[in-house]
Amino acid sequence: MKTAQLRRIVAIFIIASDAQAASAAADEPAAEAIDEIVVTADFRGRAASEIPGSVSVLDAVEISARAIQHLEELIGYIPNLNWSGDGHRARYFQIRGVGELEQYQGAPNPSVGFLVDDIDFSGIGTIGTLFDMERVEVLRGPQGSRYGANALAGLIYLQSTLPAAERNGLVQLQVGGDDMLAAGLAFGGAVTSSERVLFRVSAHHHRSNGYHDNRFLGRDDTNGRNETTLRGRLRLQPADDWDINIAAMYADIDDGYDAFALDNSYTTLSDRPGKDAQRSLGGSLRIEWTGLEFATLTSITSTANSDIDFSFDADWGNAESWAPVTYDFITANHRDRATVSQEFRLVSNDENRLNWLAGLYALRLSEDLDSLNQGEYYDPFYDFADTLDDPLQSHYAAASVAAFAQLELAVGEQSRVSLGLRVERRSTDYSDSSGLSDDPSETMTGGELTFSHDHSLDLTSYVTLSKGYKAGGFNLGTVPEDHRHFASESLWNLEAGIKSEWFDRALRLNLAAFYNRRIDQQVRSSVQLRPGDPSSFIFITDNAANGETTGLEADFNWSPAPAWEFYASLGLLDAHFDEYHSAGVDLDGRGEAHAPNYTFAVGGAWYHDSGWFARLDMQGKDSFYFDTSNNQKSEPYSVVNARLGFAGNSWAMELWARNLFDKQYAVRGFYFGNEPPDFPDTLYTRLGDARQFGVTFDRRF
């Protein structure tokens, strides 16, 4: 078996792609070219090498080779992308140090956009499962003209596998440590002989006990994973100038949440372990009409409904832990979110020196929250008792309408100048059971100015100035009246980079350097209402600072021979507060939270003519501040993953290891007092996934 053909076979059965790829690989060159990468999230669907911005794209082969189940397993491979372990799965993301860290209050207001098949799940990324996923795209930097208020820091876009004309399918079985068991089925093809109706469906279920053991309850599954995903896609071409794509998905992520231990270990003591669950049903309809001679008209409609539960044992212990003190608290939140969006876009055909696009976008979002903080405390030594019973029901609705446009002018034969602009109007309505009601509205603008130049067929450079924006909002509860509202935030990004491909794409090197300036930065911090009264501390979001960020992003891919592939990625980041002016707090010059100074990934794969293949990956990051409200930091770490397998003509089996050397590392941290009776301030951390071994079997048909 030729090595290049083996590589294609490995790719095919992993992703159940078009079976024609196997025969196309029969005559490969000595050093197989890396396929051209098209970015779906771009307005025009251009190749990554043509986009004047910092972009990372992982295709289906890379997704399957680097991850087992969820998007969070890929985050370490992408420069300057981080996540906050506030929930069981990665839900909140940070790009270049910008992004939310934890459960929000009041209004959903994400800084990082998160879309799956054109369905907006920004701020609720728990459902990022990866079976039958065709690509993961990360656009770094503000997407002011493309995605508006939900993409101040950038965008994460997931696309499931598109239907192909030839019938094909995949069965996948996985068994692993931690009592992991997973199974998936995907298949599709043409419905009619004319191949104008194509379909694809997939189903996948994953379960495991989680890495934590609850010693008090005698259970090993209180932080377990129980994740089911169903997807369906339909492509219709009723005429040559019509292309209709329908996507639907259902995700039931029913994970436990018993993740914090008093001794920062994997052994918990909680008597009422919580859960981190999200059940989402969504769909999208994308229609493209090329009947106009000069342009293509695109309509994108999407809708989603999500039920989200997040609860935890707030004291992290039990009656025996705290005896003779009574200390028992719980926090529970249930959200019902619904979104409907519509976009119309008219894009000129790429045949003239002046290309343009224009569009309209509308989004309707509503969310109902049922929240409860409840508990009791009694200290027999001081005869002190206290109770908490703080329920809150709220309703939030927002309507956003935006107009956007982009012009691109060819300057000579090798250069281009482009200008983009987006104007967005957001109107909101909020009310809750505490008597608070509010209806702020605002108009925001963003865009970009870019110059790019093709030095040769293999080398392009660019420089861009862009502006992103994030909507303002309001604080709940008892806050000073002058801190009830906070204004919108803007981010200016100056970026320069190169995109290069060499030796028929066998070698690819991309590099970007950037400077960001955040104006009226929204920061969540603590404020003491009454000096000397420790019970008067509250948390508020305020326009507390400006911020500065400088950094660099690089990625390298090389296939020197059919048997070998190598890659490396690097992110460098200096993100810090500037002119911080929150009451009683001085953080001038301090680094942003969850913004490590470096992230890196390096690895390689080997394929033998006989069918054997192997892969080794390492990813790591520098220490980072856990939060704005304290100066505690994580430790730097690196994690090694490995795979060894064999591929036949239509099947493959591989052994894999994640976190091979069982490195303990923190993905979230809090610094406060949680141990009676003295409640000393202590750093509590949530650990990332421990070492896990497993076996994956794939059968293509």
Q: Over the stretch 513-553, which tens digit does the pLDDT of each residue have?
A: 999 999 999 988 766 565 554 555 677 888 888 999 999 99
**Mean per-residue pLDDT for 335-350?**
95
**Mean per-residue pLDDT for 308-336?**
94
DSSP 3-state assignment of 534? helix
- With CA atoms as reference, report the closest residue to 152 among 161, 163, 162, 141: 141
Structure tokens at 244: 């209709």
Query: Quick one: pLDDT at residue 24?
Result: 35
- With CA atoms as reference, report the closest residue to 21 among 38, 36, 4: 4
Q: Over the stretch 175-221, which tens digit does the pLDDT of each residue have?
A: 999 999 999 999 999 998 889 999 999 999 999 999 999 999 999 99
The backbone torsions φ and ψ at residue 125, rounded to the nearest 5 degrees and listed phi first, read: -85, 15
Domain assignments of the chain as residue spans, ordered by start: 3-700
Query: Quick one: pLDDT at residue 583?
Result: 60
What is the DSSP annotation of 78-120? STTEEEETTSSS--EEEETTBS--S---SS---SEEEEETTEE
- 36 confidence band (pLDDT: 50, 70, 90): low
Query: Quick one: pLDDT at residue 39?
Result: 84
Q: Report the DSSP pairing between strands 507-528 and 489-502.
A: antiparallel
- With CA atoms as reference, report the closest residue to 111 among 518, 677, 546: 518
Query: Is residue 25 over pLDDT 70?
Result: no
The backbone torsions φ and ψ at residue 32, rounded to the nearest 5 degrees and listed phi first, read: -65, 135
Structure tokens at 173: 């079985």
Query: Is residue 23 over pLDDT 50?
Result: no
Sign (positive/negative) of CA torsion 119, 125, 131, 135?
positive
Helix (H) or strand (E) segment spanning residue 547: strand 537-561
Q: 3-700, which class in CATH?
A: mainly beta
Query: Is residue 415 over pLDDT 80?
Result: yes
- Residue 237 CB contacts under 8 Å (≥ 6 apart), including other chains: 196, 197, 243, 244
Tell me what the pLDDT averaged over the chain comes to. 90
Q: Report the DSSP pairing between strands 267-268 and 213-214.
A: parallel
Query: Is residue 685 over pLDDT 50?
Result: yes
DSSP 3-state assignment of 300? strand
Please state, in angstroms and rounded to a whole number, the distance separating the CA atoms of residues 512 and 556: 12
Q: Over the stretch 466-511, which tens digit does the pLDDT of each residue have?
A: 999 999 998 888 777 778 889 999 999 999 999 999 988 899 999 9
Query: Quick one: pLDDT at residue 145?
Result: 86
Structure tokens at 278: 């999200």
Q: CA torsion angle for 476, 477, 481, 487 (degrees, to 10)?
A: -10
Query: Quick one: pLDDT at residue 665?
Result: 97
Instruction: Count how many Cα atoms sit within 13 Å of the Cα of residue 131 in the half-sphere of its side chain.
Output: 29
Least confident of 88-92, 116-120, 400-404, 490-494: 88-92
Please state, in angstroms and rounded to a whole number, the distance separating the CA atoms of residues 93 and 99: 6
DSSP letter at 72 equals: G
Share of the chain above pLDDT 90, in %: 78
- Is residue 30 packed enough to be buried (19+ CB in 10 Å), middle (13-18) or exposed (0-12)? exposed
**Mean per-residue pLDDT for 108-121?**
94
- 26 confidence band (pLDDT: 50, 70, 90): very low
Query: Is residue 41 over pLDDT 90?
Result: no
Q: Which residue has 């209050």 as its token pair?
A: 105
DSSP 3-state assignment of 306? strand
DSSP letter at 27 equals: G
pTM above 0.85, yes or no: yes
The answer to whether residues 384 and 375 touch, using CB atoms and an 8 Å cutoff, is no
Share of the chain above pLDDT 70, in %: 92
